Amino acid sequence: MSDTNIFGKRGLAPAKLNLFLHINGRITHGDFQGYHELQTYFQLLTYGDWVHAEVTQKPEITVEWRAGDESLEHKPPSARDDLIYRAAHLLQQAAIQQGDSPLGARIRLQKNTPVGGGMGGGSSAAATTLRVLNELWALNLPPTDLQQLGVRLGADVPVFITGHNAWAEGMGERITPLPSPTANQWFVIVVPQSTSLTRSLFAHPDLPRNTPKLDYEPLLSHWQTQGGNAFESIVLKESDAILDCFHALRQHTGFARLTGSGACVFSPVISEEAGHQVSSDILNKIKAAKRVIIAKALPNALSIPA
């Protein structure tokens, strides 16, 4: 997921789509007792943020955001609110606990993945930070240890540490890498002029919380017809911008689905060229569309381009 250069290490923090997202109730035991229990499939994309890190001898951590496809409008107000900083600091503390002298890092983020879009931008950047610094600081922590650190930052972080498309349960942290039903598929993702607030959605009284658990095989084989998104009906009722983008995408492709808790909506298309045509039509006609991403699904971690 990354390449070494003379300045340090640069890694892609791939965005994701939830091909479906079901809420099956609440977790009844363990560390996450009381949290919502999910079934979902994480499809990673060839598109995302870029994380560049350099080692410093002083144990200081700095994070600089640079605008890419996404502006810096939603940059965290302070370093300690930034998942990238928190990931680096957490790994630094793990190094100290195992007896290593702490090093520091200068980290730059090229921001491409929408903020508040349900595409995992912050979680993916945090995971890439853990992976990159684990190598640069020569800590040699195994992936399982990095995943244990990652879940302390957010339930989506572990899947990005594995770098594989995966079926997920629990809060999303119990992951099973499985072959993708959409490997090498092109997707159109519409980014609305709106964001979605996950915490308020989880507390919404109309949220479907008791979808029966299903085996992964029928869901993956028929993800468009057998799967759904628990947040979709609520989000579409509460945001006209997301609703307009959803209807426009479905009109053009015959399908649309919310990813994560929103706000982005996506659809598979037959080719990159078809994706550009859909994108052009939607951007010309739908004022609620901020931008459109055309990206390819990853078949596995090894195919992430540098």
Query: What is the set of active-site residues?
Result: 16, 156
CA atoms within a 13 Å half-sphere pointing along the CA-CB vector of 170: 16
Q: Tally the residues of the chain.
A: 306
Structure token pair of residue 294: 């055309």
Rounded Cα distance, 262 and 252, in Å: 20
Please classify residue 163 by burial: count the beta carbons closer than 10 Å to its beta carbon, then call 0-12 exposed, 13-18 middle and 19+ buried: buried
Q: Which residues face 4 on adjacent strands?
A: 9
Residue matched to tokens 């006209």: 240
Answer whether the bond into residue 289 is a cis peptide, omega within 30°: no
Q: If DSSP codes are grouped into helix, strand and coil, which group holds residue 31?
A: coil
Residue 273: its H or E element: helix 272-285
- Cis before residue 263, ω within 30 degrees of 0? yes
Phi, psi (deg, nearest 5) at residue 32: -110, 25
Q: For residue 147, is it left (φ>0), alpha (ψ between -120 and 50) or beta?
A: alpha
4: nearest Cα among 53, 61, 40: 53
